[in-house]
Structures are given as structure tokens and as C-alpha cells.
Amino acid sequence: MNAELLRAQVAAPLRIDSADAIDWHGETDIAVVGYGAAGACAALEAAEQGADVRVLDRLDGGGASALSGGVVYAGGGTEFQRRAGENDSVENMLEYLKRETGGVVSEQTLRRFCSDSIANLDWLQHCGVPFDGTAYDKKTSYPPEGYFLYYSGNELCAPYRDLAQPVRRGHRVRGEHFTGRVLFDCLHRAVQGRGNIRVENHCEVSRLILDRRGHVLGLEYLQAPRNRAVRKLMRILNRFANRFVVLEPRIGSAVRRLVHWLRKRGSIQRLRVSRGVILAAGGFIFQRRLLQQYAPAYINIRPLGEDCNGSGIALGASVGGTVEHMHRISAWRFFAPPDCLLKGLVVDGRGQRICNEDLYGATTADRVTEAGGRAFLILDEKLMREARAEARPGKMPWHQWLPARLFLHASSSRAGDPASLAQRCGFDSAALKHTLDSYNTGAAAGRDFLGKAEQYLQPLGPGPYYAIDISVHNTRVPCPAITLGGLVVDEDSGAVLDEKGGAIGGLYAAGRNAVGICSHSYISGLSLADCVFSGRRAARSVASAAAQSAAAPIDKKAEAVDVA
């Protein structure tokens, strides 16, 4: 895949003959680029291995992880599953995830991810991250207050429930509201407790520095002014921008442009790295040029994250790293709660049914995108009344109540019969009538050819009918999204690989900078779990590789040169 535009996001690498050929402003064993969950986990693991670690973050730390729901996908028999009476195993978890991950990693790696699940959750708790076994039973995009263990994917849905025993694996960090901030704050406190980790915010890494063999010697970055007043202003502006992440990210991006402008008033620094660099700077959902190149169908999607611009991926590509699955985007089209909406019908722009309605929201959005991006949820009068009664303040959190109200009141069309509804929405009337008739016949008999769960299977009654626009590009109810692709890495070490499959010396990637467990599809908690898994993997590999390469001689001859 052509990566020229990707590489253009950062400066060309600086190639030198020896570390003595240029002046350095600092030195460390391991540098971590990006300070979200993956970066924090990598830094903590590297510190536990005895390395001195420098963490550089373009903003104020936390990244998309701190803005997330704080759900970690874990199974195989965690203590919280056992408390809730769940009977899970590594094999059961593996069989389910084989379908979800679509072969994006080898079965051996996926098995290791499942086998390490309990240990990684225990490690997070050791770092101070709190979890809870209070279980939630109903289908939901996010559990209500007081519940912390739930079905966070497609476990209860066909065909997944036929492949593995359905169990809850979504471990929400204990706290109030979205608990991604709780997760990151706990990791940050653990980092602060380590004397061999130094975190520097508002440092934008612009290029890597290599020796003549192509081995990473260090990196160059733009450091914001150290003036306390400027730093305080940048921190305030960035936190203010994050308030608009869900509702209106364009406002947040406009505010953050001032943060970037202030950083540019700083100075260029060069950091010598004796062991290696770990790239953990997130995806590229905010970089429209990259979306246009790799995933044009999502160019107008609502970006979700903290200004994720693909710079970490670009750094790897700039020195020969290859990328894959860059076209994979996870858009989230949740419409439950209210639960009664799962009893409706999801049809495409022609009026034909495209999926069972109780699928996880990202899976539903995949089906909608595959069908051309346009889709509707068909309801009868009874379901619409139930939904409106349930979608009220106090009955559900605001982040679920608001889109529900927008769906029901700002994105629905009403008609007395299927033919009139088809005309209003641009469906083929014969196709919509056939869809309704065949579904109602099956539902009355208690069967559904797409396998909708029994509790949501009921015939739609007589008109009037409603069509709720759940198209991925419905701007009245924005559909948030994140990117899933990244740098190809060695699945045993996390080392970034070149086009021939060879490891680039001293360069590793983790989290959404790397192809990982969720690079094919996403379910809640899988990305954060992969951040822990891949971040710790990369850190252990850098530490073990250091001893093998420490004695390698470096020729000390030439001056530094820029390589395009």
C-alpha cells in the first residue's frame, strides 16, 4: 500500500554514522512516544525491567484512552467473572475472539492474548486500577452506574453465541460515568511512583535518528516553551478541547490549534536512546488526508479521540515500516438503550434487511457501511411509544439519552403504511413489504433467519410505521469512529517490520500505532486490553534485545546528514 502521504506527516529521518556525530540534549535507555494506555503500560513494564524511560506526549497525556469508557476486555476466568458466576476459560475466549478478530493476528498470538488476560488484569490492579464484579444482564452500549461487568461485544448474538459459551468479559474500571480517566490517572500515579520514568508533555516527535545500518539511535522532537504560564495555558486549553470530543470535535480541534501554535514557539531537542523507541501515539482518525487515502467511505465520519493524527504510524513508515489494515475503521452505531428498539428491523437504502438488530453497535455499523452507508431502523407505533417513554432524563445516562432522543425526534419519518414509508425514505416499496412480511411470518413462528435473540423477536404490528435514519453519515446523530490499522509488527516482540519482514533495529510499536488484536474489528474493551498486552510486550522485548545488541560497535566517522 502506498505510504507516501503517510510518511509526509513527519520529517524524513536523520541518518548519521555515529552517536557522536551530532549534539544531544538528553539520553535515556528507552523512549516511549505517546502517553495513553499503551504508552503508560510500556513505560511501567520497561521500568520494571530496570530501564530508564523517557515518555514524550504531543499533548497533555491520556490520549484517547483517558476519554474512553474505561472498559478492558478480559476473560478466561478472571476473579470478577468468578464472583459473577461466569464459567469462562481460555479456550472459550479464544473461540469467540477468533470470529471477532478475523485472522488479523495468528492463532498463536491470539491464544497468548487470551492466556495472558488474567495476568494483565491482575497487573493493572497492581498498578492501582480498580475493578468490580457487579454484573449487568441487559444488552447495552455501556453499563449504567453501579455496574462494572457486562457483555461488551457480540457474545449473546448469532452466530457468535453458537461458537462459544456467552460470558461477560467487559471489565469496566470502577468509578462514575466514563471511567477511562480513572484508568489513566491510576496508571499515571504508578508512573509517577517510578524514579526511572520521566514524562514530558507537549513534546511533538518530528523524526527518528538512525545509524547507517538503519538502527534507531534516537529521536528529534519539538518541545513547548518551559514557561510555567504557557504550559498552564496549554493544559487548560487542551482539557477544554476534550470537553467537545463527543458532541462537537470540530470545536475541540479549533481550540487545540492554539495549543499546537504555542508548542511551535518552543525548541528542537534531540534525545539519544540506547535501547530503543516504542511508538504508542494512537490512530489517525483526525487526519482527513489519511482517511481520504485509506478509508474514503469514512471521510465525513465523526472522529473520536484526542486529536489522533497518525504521527506515530508515520514515524514508523518514515524509516521503512510497513502498514496494514489502514482501511479498517470502527464506526459505532448504537441505538440501544432503549432496549425496545432492538425489536425493530434494520434495512438498507433499498428496504432490505441487512443484520440481526441485537448486534454490537460497531458490527452493525460495519453491516451498514457494507450496504452502502445508508440504513434505517423500522418500528411500529407501539415500539415508538415505548422508546419515547424510556428515553427520558434520569432513566439513562446523558451519553445514551441524547442520541436516543435525536434518533426518535430528529431523525425519524412516519407513514401510515409500508408503501408510504418506502416513498418517504426512497425505498423500493415491494422490497420493504417483502422484508416486513417475511420477518413477521418468522417472528410469529419464533424463528429468524439472521438469528435475532428470542427476547427481541416479535412481529411488527399495523401502521403507522417509523423509519429512524441510522446511516453512518447522518449528521443529526453523529456516528463516532476510530481507526484500527497501523504498523506491521513482529507478533512475538512488537518490533516494527519493513516490507521484507525484517525488524527495524530499535523500533517497536504498540496500541493503535500497531496492527493488533482489534485491527480487523472492534468491541468495547478490546483496544484497551490490546494496549496493555502490546505495550508490555514491546517493553519486555526492548529490555531483552538490549543485552544482545549492547556490544555492537558503531563506526565513528561522518557528519550528520538528512536523508529524504
Q: What is the CATH number of the domain that holds 421?
A: 3.90.700.10
> Residues 111, 159: one domain?
yes
| CATH number of the domain bearing residue 274 | 3.50.50.60
Residue 253's H or E segment, with its range, is helix 249-263
> Residues 83, 111: one domain?
yes
552, part of any domain: no
Q: What is the mean pLDDT of the chain?
A: 92
> Residues 444, 511: one domain?
no
DSSP state for residue 322 in the 8-state scheme: -
Task: Please give the C-alpha separations between residue 470 and each of 154, 309, 331, 522, in angstroms, as whole numbers.
Answer: 19, 27, 12, 19
557, part of any domain: no
Check pLDDT > 70 for residue 2: no
> Residues 227, 152: one domain?
no
Of 152, 172, 192, the residue that ends a domain is 172
DSSP state for residue 105 in the 8-state scheme: S
Q: Strands of 149-150's sheet, edge to edge?
A: 71-73, 170-172, 149-150
* Distance (Å, whole) CA 423 – CA 145: 42
pLDDT tens for each residue of 58-99: 999 999 999 999 999 999 999 999 999 999 999 999 999 999
At residue 139 the predicted structure's pLDDT band, cuts being 50, 70 and 90, is: confident
> Residues 228, 326: one domain?
yes
Average pLDDT over residues 293-309: 91
> Residues 364, 462: one domain?
yes
pLDDT tens for each residue of 353-401: 999 999 999 999 999 999 999 999 999 999 999 999 988 887 888 888 8
* Distance (Å, whole) CA 345 – CA 330: 22
212, part of any domain: yes
248, part of any domain: yes
Check pLDDT > 70 for residue 560: no
280, part of any domain: yes
- Give the pairing of strands 53-56 and 197-200: parallel
Structural domain containing residue 37: 4-69+179-330+480-542
pLDDT tens for each residue of 499-538: 999 999 999 999 999 999 999 999 999 999 999 999 999 9
Q: How many CA atoms lie within 13 A of 537 on its CB side?
A: 28
Average pLDDT over residues 321-340: 94
**Dihedral sign (CA 142, 143, 148, 152):** negative
> Residues 212, 188: one domain?
yes
Check pLDDT > 80 for residue 231: yes
Angle 415-420-425 (CA atoms, 0-180°, nearest 5)? 85
Average pLDDT over residues 481-492: 97
558, part of any domain: no
Cell numbers for 402: 441524547
559, part of any domain: no
> Residues 361, 437: one domain?
yes
> Residues 215, 276: one domain?
yes
Of 469, 488, 511, the residue that ends a domain is 469
> Residues 463, 355: one domain?
yes
pLDDT at 1 (0 to 100): 52
Of the candidates 25, 11, 23, 20, the one whose C-alpha atom is nearest the C-alpha of residue 54 is 25
Look at the chain and report how many structural domains it folds into.
3
Of the candidates 329, 332, 320, 333, the one whose C-alpha atom is nearest the C-alpha of residue 284 is 329
563, part of any domain: no
Of 119, 140, 172, the residue that ends a domain is 172
pLDDT at 539 (0 to 100): 97
Cβ–Cβ under 8 Å, residues 325 and 294? no
Q: Residue 380 corresponds to which amino acid?
A: D
> Residues 217, 323: one domain?
yes
> Residues 532, 401: one domain?
no
pLDDT at 552 (0 to 100): 41
